[in-house]
């Protein structure tokens, strides 16, 4: 049977000579592991008499506790020394400012679309998306736009071939919706559109929100009320509005809506009108039985007015100094 005093002294020497946690773990296995001398002595206790078993087991368990205590104390000492060395090696400056994570923000165009959608959603409109690559039929012909209309030219439209193009308006979704659904219909269609134009108030790609209502009893008065309430909601006040007669191939009568800008100037913000009977005929809807009204909202135009921005192109330049204003 081992001598507890000598065994403890040997353990003290081995523990004190370790300089790393890894070395200390090896010493721990040597003295306390399953194959250690101490563990074998504890396993052989069953061979002893009851009296000897009680006396020796107490000594062995106390020895085991003492070695554990020595190992834990030396481990704390090593951790302290090693962490101090790391600080010296890396020269940590606790006065440095912390690293900050810059949170992003919703783009003002997205915010504007969300505001528009929230208003029409409360009126029971469904929100529908459509393809950005269109064909001549849905983008022009079915909307009563004649073959010689200027908007069909390459000066205005991005054509892939004689039939396919990047859509010039979300109005093309009117046709797709009316072909696949039966009245009553109440939808808005937000999305990107493309036209060959570029200056401070026009970009080759911009956003529109098309609106369509189709039912048995719809009047221009209903349309006027919706447009007024929308503009009051969007600008958060009762602004001065006027309806000005205009022309669109797919609506009759048609109107453009102006608002007072900078307290003196009338500025066009959107177009609207009653759906042309020819458009309804193109999708096999009886124009004597159903009446429709439609409107088109230029998202960038409204965003410019809401946020006081004079150049449309800045929305798409991804200048972080500009975008951070909308957090």
Q: Which phi and psi (to 5°) does residue 7 adopt?
A: -65, -40
- Written as six digits, the tokens of 203 are 């970009």
- Is there a contact between 108 and 326 (Cβ–Cβ < 8 Å)? yes
Spatial strand order of the sheet with 241-248 comes to: 126-127, 185-194, 205-215, 291-298, 265-275, 251-261, 241-248
What's the pTM value of the predicted model, to 2 decimals? Answer: 0.66
**Residue 142 pLDDT more than 70?**
yes
Q: What is the pLDDT of residue 172?
A: 92
**Residue 87 pLDDT more than 60?**
no
Give the whole-number percent of the chain exceeding pLDDT 70: 93
Give alpha helix (H) positions in the chain.
4-16, 21-32, 37-43, 50-90, 108-122, 136-139, 172-180, 220-235, 277-282, 299-307, 320-323
Dihedral sign, CA of 226, 139, 247, 240? positive
Strand partners, 251: 248, 275
Out of 85-94, 252-261, 290-299, 315-324, least confident range = 85-94
| Cα distance between residue 52 and residue 176, in whole Å | 97
Mind listing the pLDDT tens digit for each residue in 13-63? 888 888 888 888 888 888 788 777 777 777 777 677 777 777 777 777 887
pLDDT band at 5 (very low <50, low <70, confident <90, very high): confident
- Written as six digits, the tokens of 96 are 């440095």
Out of 70-74, 84-88, 184-188, least confident range = 84-88
| The most confident of 74-83, 99-108, 190-199, by mean pLDDT | 190-199
3-class secondary structure, 134: strand
| Cα distance between residue 247 and residue 143, in whole Å | 13
Mind listing the pLDDT tens digit for each residue in 15-26? 888 888 888 888
Give the whole-number percent of the chain exceeding pLDDT 90: 41
**Residue 217 pLDDT more than 70?**
yes
- Is there a contact between 253 and 245 (Cβ–Cβ < 8 Å)? yes
What are the domain boundaries of the chain?
A: 4-90, 108-326
Homologous superfamily assigned to 108-326: Bira Bifunctional Protein; Domain 2 (3.30.930.10)
């Amino acid at each position: 049977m081992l001598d507890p005093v000598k065994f403890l002294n040997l353990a003290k020497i081995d523990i004190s000579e370790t300089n790393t946690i890894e070395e200390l773990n090896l010493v721990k296995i040597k003295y306390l592991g399953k194959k250690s001398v101490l563990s074998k002595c504890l396993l052989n206790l069953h061979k002893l008499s009851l009296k000897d078993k009680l006396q020796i087991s107490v000594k062995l368990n106390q020895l085991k506790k003492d070695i554990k205590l020595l190992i834990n104390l030396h481990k704390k000492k090593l951790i302290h020394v090693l962490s101090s060395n790391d600080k010296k090696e890396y020269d940590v400056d606790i006065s440095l400012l912390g690293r900050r994570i810059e949170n992003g923000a919703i783009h003002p165009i997205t915010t504007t679309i969300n505001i528009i959608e929230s208003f029409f959603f409360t009126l029971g409109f469904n929100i529908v998306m459509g393809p950005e690559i269109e064909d001549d039929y849905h983008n022009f012909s079915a909307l009563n736009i004649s073959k010689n209309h200027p908007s069909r030219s390459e000066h205005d439209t991005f054509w892939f071939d004689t039939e396919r193009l990047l859509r010039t308006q979300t109005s093309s979704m009117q046709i797709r919706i009316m072909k696949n659904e039966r009245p009553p219909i109440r939808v808005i269609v937000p999305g990107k559109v493309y036209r060959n134009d570029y200056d401070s108030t026009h970009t080759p790609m911009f956003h529109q929100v098309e609106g369509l209502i189709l039912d048995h009893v719809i009047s221009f008065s209903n349309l006027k009320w919706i447009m007024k309430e929308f503009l009051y909601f969007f600008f958060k006040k009762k602004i001065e509005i006027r309806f000005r007669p205009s022309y669109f191939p797919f609506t009759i009568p048609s109107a453009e809506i102006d608002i007072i800008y900078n307290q003196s100037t009338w500025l066009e913000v959107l177009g609207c009108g009653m759906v042309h009977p020819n458009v309804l005929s193109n999708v096999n809807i009886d124009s004597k039985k159903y009446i429709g009204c439609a409107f088109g909202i230029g998202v960038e135009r409204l965003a410019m007015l809401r946020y006081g921005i004079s150049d449309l192109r800045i929305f798409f330049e991804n200048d972080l100094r500009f975008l951070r204003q909308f957090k």
